[in-house]
Chain A
Amino acid sequence: MRKAHGEALVSLGRENPKVVVLSADVSNSDHSYMFAEAFPERFFNVGIAEQALVDISVGFAISGMVPFAHTFAAFFATRALEMVRTHACYGGARIKMMAAYAGISDSFDGPTHHCIIDLAVMRSLPNMTVLVPSDPRSLMRFLPQIASWDGPVYCRLNRNEVPVLFDDSYHPEIGRAIPLRDGADVTLIACGITVSRALQAAERLAAQGIQAGVLEMHTIKPLDVDAVVGAAETTGALVTVEEHSVVGGLGAAVAEVLCDRALVPLRRVGIQDRFTNTGPYDTLLDRYGLAVEDITAAAESAVRTKTGSSTERRV
């Protein structure tokens, strides 16, 4: 996903002279160096200083520029968080945070570099928009929307090569979930790398006679509430799948909707409330609860819990 990001930034820079790119000295990690090469006068390396990275970006934003700030997800969501809250969310500075190495995608650098709490943290902030693109094309399609979005944006970037899911016909919009597969028995709601795993799980479930729909929830905030309620009403059972702690992320966001609007069985597939370990990316995803088998098991459980009676489901 990194090269796609570099290319998308350059293309954006060509179209919009107000776009500036800032980096806390990680431009070779997220490939924003490609923008630095194309537009050296609009690229600013602020050193290993994530708090200043956000504040300097705020300064650009309140002066009418469109700053894309780059550091690792873990540092936006923890070290620089007060800057994000005070000036982007409360003050209204429209900074664009490109959160590299999100989830456990920087797998070999270990738990200090993994970030499985960012969706919960960022989602709790008023006025924030939180995105999790699933593949390179998704990211490239979102970048211009992020630039023109009237508010601060936090966008996850995956460190690794991720499965290509979409072709040129894919046109995601911030805040609108995308149905990728229909299914009458259960809906799998996924974001980021887990979308491809959810699609695999749906295939396997079909072979078992369970028809699972797949909904891509690339925007964690503002959540597409209508899509969640629609899926609950249509299939009567939901499974969320996220490369994130089960505390506070996509699963929690969907659970909040269900409590208020459509109480149906929900299973949350994600990483349990713990620190992860160092290792290969796929191994970590499998071992920490994001294997395709984990998704199918969750779907089976949700379907079993369904009563089948619409009155008892209280949809």
Chain B
Amino acid sequence: MHYHGESLIRDLSMKAQTFRIDVLNMVYRAQTGHLGGAFSVAEILTGLYFHHLKLDPERPEMPERDRLLFSKGHACAMLYAVLAYRGFFASEELASFRQFESRLQGHPDPNKTPGIEIAAGPLGHGIAIGVGVALSLRMRAAAKPSARDAPSARATVAKVYTVLGDGEINAGVIWEGIMSAAKFKLGNLTAILDYNGIQQTGSTAEAMPTEPIAEKWEAFGWHVQEIHGHNVGEVLDALDRADEVHARPSVIIARTTKGKGVSFMEYDHRWHGQPPSTEEYEAALVELREGLKQWQE
């Protein structure tokens, strides 16, 4: 595990907060899109793309890259903002979010947007697709002559990460994928659960109770960590620890807040998929900018 310095954590935390402002602008301008789940996943995606993942924005299809399968597709406004500022495409393009003929579709499209690995929107696919990708990468690494000779061969296996929503895990195929990942001992697969506790019509506890979620996942044979998902340091530490687990898949249960950063959006399911009015937009902008200040001081 690496030590993550304060300046790194402050930098990534500031980035995540500025991405929230970008996302607010995108959804306000388009008057359509999903804010709540985008705000909750900000630190997770920022930690992954700006520190943890091995990737090259100049070569989005580099074979040895780590794969991020963004499964909670409705929150893609945040993914687009992160990809743009990571260098996959120009940040000016964010203004075209959800517009006709934009590369930034309503839900992610791997054939249109650089850096997107899978289509998402219909929920539940990340883990099972991740199983296929992780198996492929493991086979590829094993097939290399150098890997066969070197005892540290596993270090050359590219890693697969999938970011899930907590409502998403209602879907049966998630659990099919969980079982397969354990069966095939996929140490190169890590799921990150953005556990914000809210889905489209209310709390996840009401819609479909999933607790005790850590115990369930553990019983299915996975390595389980629980963290505070808005603490970048915890996100980075957990990703490092997951990388050290080689004989089974890992899940990081990241406790988050839906609508994080805007007081009147937090914990309120109505902000799952509703655009803000001008008054709401301006109020939200003030709060997000205020939130940025804690890192600037």
Contacts and interface: CB of A to CB of B under 8 A. Distances in A.
Contacts of A46: 176, 180
Contacts of A56: 128-129, 131-132, 135, 177, 180
Contacts of B130: 59
A158 interface: no
B137 A49 contact: no
Nearest to B136: A63
Interface stretch (A79-87, A207-215, A261-269): A79-87
Contacts of A59: 128-136
A58 B179 contact: no
B177 to A, nearest CB: 5
Contacts, number: 96
B111 A52 contact: no
Interface stretch (B49-57, B96-104, B117-125): B117-125
A42 B184 CA distance: 12
Interface string A138-158: 000000000000000000000
A67 B132 contact: yes
B175 to A, nearest CB: 9
User: Contact residue range for chain B?
Assistant: 20 to 34
A44 interface: yes
A22 to B, nearest CB: 8
Contact of A91 (B110, B137, B139): B110
A56 B121 CA distance: 17
Interface in B126-180: 128-137, 139-140, 143, 172-173, 176-177, 179-180
B125 A86 contact: yes
B129 A44 contact: no
Given A46-B180, A47-B179, A92 B129 contact: no
B179 A60 contact: no
A155 B109 CA distance: 26
Nearest to B107: A86
A243 interface: no
B128 A63 contact: no
A42 B173 CA distance: 23
A52 B118 contact: no
Among A17, A20, A62, which residue has the most Cβ atoms of chain B within 10 A? A62
Contacts of A20: 139
A47 B111 contact: no
A52 B128 contact: yes
A178 interface: no
B133 to A, nearest CB: 4
Interface in A6-53: 17, 20, 41-42, 44, 46-47, 49, 51-52
B118 A47 contact: no
B136 A55 contact: no
Among B109, B133, B136, B183, which residue has the most Cβ atoms of chain A within 10 A? B136
Contact of B119 (A60, A61, A86): A86
B125 A63 contact: no
Among B111, B125, B172, which residue has the most Cβ atoms of chain A within 10 A? B125
Given A52-B173, A92-B110, A86 B135 contact: no
Contacts of B137: 63
A59 B117 CA distance: 10
Given A62-B117, A90-B119, A91-B118, A47 B180 contact: yes
Contacts of A87: 118-119, 125, 129
Contacts of A58: 118, 125, 129, 132
A237 to B, nearest CB: 43
Contacts of A17: 143
Given A64-B136, A87-B119, 16 more contacts: A47-B183, A49-B173, A55-B125, A55-B128, A58-B118, A59-B130, A59-B133, A60-B135, A60-B136, A62-B118, A63-B140, A65-B136, A86-B122, A87-B129, A90-B119, A91-B111
11 contacts: A20-B139, A46-B180, A47-B176, A51-B176, A55-B125, A59-B130, A60-B136, A61-B132, A62-B118, A62-B133, A91-B111
